[in-house]
Amino acid sequence: MKCGVVLFPGSNCDHDVYHVLKHVLEQDVVYLWHEETTLKGCDFIVLPGGWSYGDYLRGGAMAALSPVMQSVREHAAKGGPVLGICNGFQVLTEARLLPGALRRNRGLKFECRDTYLRVERNDLDFTSCYRQGQVLRLPIAHGEGNYEHFPGELDRLEANRQIVFRYVAPSGEVDDAWNFNGSARAIAGIVNEAGNVLGLMPHPERCAEEVLGNMDGLGLFQGLVQPALRLVGAAR
C-alpha cells in the first residue's frame, strides 16, 4: 500500500511515522510537501504530529488552510483512509474533516506521559488488529489535546459510535484521574461518520518497536497496511 506522510513546515513526527511505515512495516512511503496539489497516488495519508507553521494561533489552524489539504479533503471524500496523529488530529478538526476542537489541556501544561486507551470499536480498518475493549498503552505529548464539543454533538458522536479511543485507567475503567488533558467524555480519538478519517492525540508511532519497550501502537498501522493481520471474528 502506498503511504503518504504530509510534511508541513514545523511537523516534527514526520520521520517517526515514516520510520514505522517504511522500516518496521516495509511499506512504500513518500513525503507530501504542504504545497503539493496532488497526493502522488498515495492510498493512505498520515498527518503527523508537530507544530505545523508554529501552531501559533491554534494547533493545526494554519495547516488546515495549506494547499495539500484540498487534496486530502478529496481523498477523504472518496473514502480514502486518513490518519491524523496529535497535531494531525488538530489539523483534521480545524479542516472540519472531523468534528469538535482540541483546546488547551485542563492543567494548562504540556503533558508528556503514557496513557491507557480503551478500544471502543474494532470494526474499523484502523482498529481491526485490536480486540474490542482492549486496553492499549500509548504515550501522549501535547499542550492542546483537550477534546471539546457541545453536549448535543457529543451525544451524536456516541450515537454514531464515532468515539474510537477513550482515556482509561490501566484496568480499563474510565477514570477522570487518567484523563490527563480533561477531554470531554475522555475522548482520545474519533473517526468521521464514514469511518475512513481517524484522529487521535496519543502517538502510536512512538510505541511500535520492541526496543522501545512497547508495541501497542503498531496494530493501528497494521490494521490498514497489512489486512492479512486483521483479527478474525472481530465484531464487524
For another protein, the closer of residues 177 and 194 by Cβ is 177
Q: Would you tell me which residues interact with another protein (CB under 8 A)?
A: 9-10, 12-13, 15-16, 19-20, 49-51, 53-58, 61-62, 65, 93-94, 99-101, 103-104, 106, 108-114, 116, 135, 137, 139, 141, 143, 146, 148-150, 170, 182, 203, 205-206, 208-209, 211-213
Question: Is 35 assigned a catalytic role?
Answer: no
User: At 43, phi and psi to the nearest 5?
Assistant: -90, -30
78 burial via Cβ count (<10 Å: 0-12, 13-18, 19+) = exposed
| 203 is known as an active-site residue | yes
Q: DSSP label at 231?
A: P
Measured CA to CA in angstroms, residue 93 lies from 89, 104, 120, 134, 140 at distances of: 6, 14, 20, 26, 18
Catalytic residue among 36, 94, 144, 205: 205
Q: Which is nearer to another protein, 100 or 189 (CB)?
A: 100
Question: Considering 34, 142, 149, 203, which one is annotated as catalytic?
Answer: 203
Q: How far is the CB of 125 from another protein (least distance, A)?
A: 23
Nearest to 166 by CA among 189, 196, 143, 146: 189
Rounded least distance, CB 186 to another protein, Å:
15
Residue ranges in 46-185 assigned as alpha helix (H): 67-77, 87-94, 151-159
Amino acid 69 reads M
Task: For residue 34, indicate whether it is catalytic.
Answer: no
What is the closest distance, in whole angstroms, from the C-beta atom of residue 150 to another protein in the complex? 6
State how far the Cα of 134 lies from the Cα of 132, in Å rounded to an integer.
Answer: 6
| Cβ-based nearer residue to another protein, 17 or 164 | 17
Q: Which is nearer to another protein, 50 or 219 (CB)?
A: 50
Query: What is the smallest separation between the CB atom of 20 and another protein, expressed in angstroms?
Result: 8
Please report where in the chains the cell 471539546 appears, as a residue. 148
Catalytic residue among 86, 94, 129, 142: 86
Residues annotated as part of the active site: 86, 203, 205
